[in-house]
Amino acid sequence: MPSLTRAEAAERAALLSVDEYAIDLDLTAHGDGFASTTVVRFRCAHPGEDTFVELRPAALRSVTLNGRALDVADLDDNRLPLTDLAADNELVVEATMAYSNSGEGLHRFVDPADGEVYLYAMAGPDNADRIFACFDQPDLKAPVTLTVTAPPQWTVLANGVGEQVEPGRWRFVPTPPISTYLMTLVAGPLHSRYADHDGIPLGLHCRAALAEHLDRDADELFEVTARCFDRYHELFDSRYPFGKYDQAFVPEFNWGAVENPGCVAFRDEFVFRSAVTEAQRMERAIVIAHEMAHMWFGDLVTMRWWDDLWLNESFAEYMGVRVAAEATRFTGTWTDFAISRKTWGYAADQRPSTHPVAPERVDDVAAALLNFDGISYAKGAAALRQLGAYVGDDAFFAGLRKYFVAHEHGNATLADLIAALGEASDQDLSGWAALWLRESGVTTVRPVAEVDAGGRYKSVTVVQSAPPSRPVLRPHRLALGLYDRAADGRVVRRERVEVDVDPADQGRTPVPALAGRPAAALLLANDDDLTYAKVRLSDAELAALPELLPAVVDPVARALLWSAAWDATRDAEIAPTTFVDLAVAGLPTEPDSTLFTEVIGFAAAITVGQYLTPELRAGASAALASVCARVVGSAAAGSDRQLAAARGLVRCAGAAEVDVLRGWLDGTSVPAGLPVDAELRWAVLRRLVVLGAAGAADIDAESGRDRSAHGEQHAARCRSALPDAAAKAWAWDAIVGDDTLSNRLALALAEGFWHPEQEELTGRYVSRYFDEMPDLAARRSAQVVNQVAGAVYPRYAVRPATVDAAQRLLDRADLPAVLRRVVADRTDDLRRALAVRSLIDK
């Protein structure tokens, strides 16, 4: 399928104005597809000109333009030419469209729990033409009027308010002008809960098999939603503009959630069917707040083209974290942002695929899809937090209000936003935007201190550096935190000093305010995490970190310290054994479940799995497992710490822990208060399978206990993880060759395939990956390729030969862009692993 280019979109936007989409969908008895009739009313600025409309039908039945029949054979891939346009035009397209199994277009899912069928539409970024005929670009917004015929027992949801006007026939009110990628519907025998807040009708929806779990959390979900609405109305001084607000939890969703106005779709893993930590509930609240922010950033005011994706995602990321902290009980969101989201951003910004937050050009929609990454989300959000610190909160939100008023129900660009913020703050922000938004890469900050014989600072300088490949320094408003050990042993902040780091200082910014002050046990740059930069500690602080870090009281400060240690490990500045030692020292007293989970993930999955040589893995895993076992035994029964540590123990378990895990499964030795429910049972079983302590019969038995969609995916991961040649051959053939597998089942098999303990067994599949991925990429959608090819990359084959094989693939000129990016980024991670391993013997 040709990807719409920026030039084509600009040309078409100059020619056309779209007045309305009237879409009629028949979801009853059309085999593998559904009937789609679209009436598009649009104007042409230059009558007599030509253009094209996009659609991807299974069968195109008829097309008329202004009453003139067009030849359906003129459809070329997904483009249908429209010739000799009038000033006012009406296009009518009748087609049969195919359901998808990829999470794109109109996705069809059969629930294994009860056999019920569910549908949901995912139109973005360029999949609307799988559902209806359209001019599929963000700046041709138009009202959408939808009618749907469905089985009478179904509920159908869409962007606007709908009613069942006769059995199975649904009619929805026209929407305000929206972009084509935001059109949606959700249909099936849904379970629904309803409420009302501040005049906004609220709905929660899921498939019937999850009803009891949605009901259990409905009050919390409604409360988070209501509080976030109140805070957004207060901050933006602009009412929610799309009427009702449904939140639908849908199966096999590729994203965390998508911001369809009036009908937000979430992956249904957010309907928790097993015990979860408070950190997981906080993550869900952040996602709810994130998608709600999109009602303004992206839906009310939409980017003109995909080069301004950050106007959607960076703002929603920033506002979601901020508003969840300010409006809900989940006040620790900035800790999660520092250790999880920004770590994602830092990693993305150092890979070959790095790009500016707001790139100058995104040439086509296929390139835009690749930018839904840690830069557009986390780095952009961090830049916005820095901008708020730079201009002040009042000016920041005054500028946003101007922006909404000027561009409501329209489209905008970076220049439009910077102009509004500059006017509100009475500052020229063009230089700031050029360095923060138009330049890629991450800088590093470190405080360099001289201490006199009396233990006082002679001088403190903030040193900012950038890698030679991207030698761009940025202005930073950051804080230095001075931390000391109190009498009770806790490490607390004594003082905080804000510093304006100016790139004109050639990377060295003096801090005269600290001269003569008593030197701190820990001098932390970027205290409170106001800016986006890697942080480094002095050698003495790094050596003392195993003693200092567990005693630091502030969770954001601990997140910054964990992140600094992890980033130095990833950059091959400290040995991987040092990070394992730090985890062993710091995790036993780490009270924050977010930090515990992220750190054990860094330590177990990456440090032990990739950075340590096989001879060192067993000892490191045993040390981490011992820490987790101690926390499981000492934590309060049923607490977050106990559950997080239990999951950590499962991740790190070796042969010595097999009997413990088996005791959890059979109920003979379960720690008091630990809920060994469906999700934990599957995690335990998968680890036992990897260790060769459970087999196919155990997977079959567990599948019999859990006949859910999630259980089906867990079983696929376990079967792919079986340590025998036949199981690996079956899993590989399914991953690369079975296009009937849904997106999530293919991903589950890919996630289960590689394990450090199985290197010898899976060795022959390393070369097969590089030989066979291009064929997969030619057959499956970009979204599936992005996820599956990334998950099944041979990340534990940390050898120069793997890098060489990857490079030979990357040297091919015909490699699809999405596969090229996956392989380039994963191979960069592999090169880093080789560099980190080189420190082990030093």
- Return the active site residues: 291
Structure tokens at 108: 């069809």
Q: What would you report as the CA-atom Rg of the chain, rounded to the nearest whole angstrom?
A: 27
Tokens of 233: 């109305």
818 neighbors 786 (Cβ within 8 angstroms): yes
**Residue that the structure tokens 């900035």 belong to:** 334
Q: Are 242 and 260 in contact (CB under 8 A)?
A: no
Q: What are phi and psi of 190, to 5 degrees?
A: -70, 150
For the chain, helix (H) and strand (E) counts, in that order, are 28, 28
Burial (CB < 10 A; 0-12, 13-18, 19+), residue 426, is exposed
3-state DSSP call for residue 196? strand
Question: What are the two backbone dihedrals, phi and then psi, of residue 354, each rounded to the nearest 5 degrees?
Answer: -55, 155
Q: From residue 386, give the alpha-carbon distance in Å to each of 129, 265, 458, 473, 573.
A: 39, 30, 29, 15, 27
Alpha carbons 258 and 255: distance in angstroms, whole number:
7
Q: What percentage of the chain's residues is helix, strand, coil (to nearest 5)?
A: 50, 20, 30
Amino acid sitting at position 687: R
CA–CA separation, 438 and 441 (whole Å): 10
Neighbours of 21 (CB within 10 A): 25
Residue 740, number of CB atoms within 10 A of its CB: 8
The CA distance from 621 to 617, in Å, is 6
Question: Tokens 């009202």, residue?
Answer: 143
Identity at 185, one-letter amino acid code? L
| φ, ψ of residue 104 in degrees (nearest 5) | -125, 155
Cα angle for residues 255, 601, 716 (degrees, 5° grid): 55
* Contact (Cβ atoms closer than 8 angstroms) between residue 236 and residue 246: no
* Local structure of residue 798 (DSSP, 8 states): -
Which amino acid makes up residue 463? V
**Angle separating helix axes 555-570 and 593-601, nearest 10 degrees:** 10
Reduced to 3 states (helix: H, G, I; strand: E, B; else coil), residue 346 is: helix
Residues 6+ apart with CB under 8 A from 104: 122, 127, 130, 254, 781, 783
Q: Is the dihedral of CA 299, 305, 309, 315 positive or negative?
A: negative
Beta bridge partners of residue 88, listed in sequence order = 43
Mind giving me the DSSP string for 694-762? S-HHHHHHHHHH--SHHHHHHHHHHHHH-SSHHHHHHHHHHHHH-TTS-HHHHHHHHHHH--GGGHHHH
Q: Select from 529, 584, 532, 580 the least CA-distant residue to 557.
A: 529
Residue 101's contacts (CB-CB under 8 Å, 6 or more residues apart) are 107, 108, 740, 741, 742, 743
Find the farthest-apart pair of alpha carbons in the chain and give their distance in angstroms, rounded: 91
Q: Name the burial class of residue 666, with classes exposed (0-12), middle (13-18) and buried (19+) by CB atoms within 10 angstroms of its CB.
A: exposed
Reduced to 3 states (helix: H, G, I; strand: E, B; else coil), residue 461 is strand
What 3-state DSSP class applies to 522? strand
Spatial distance between the Cα atoms of 97 and 37, rounded to a whole number of angstroms: 10
CB under 8 Å to 415, separation ≥6 — which residues?
none
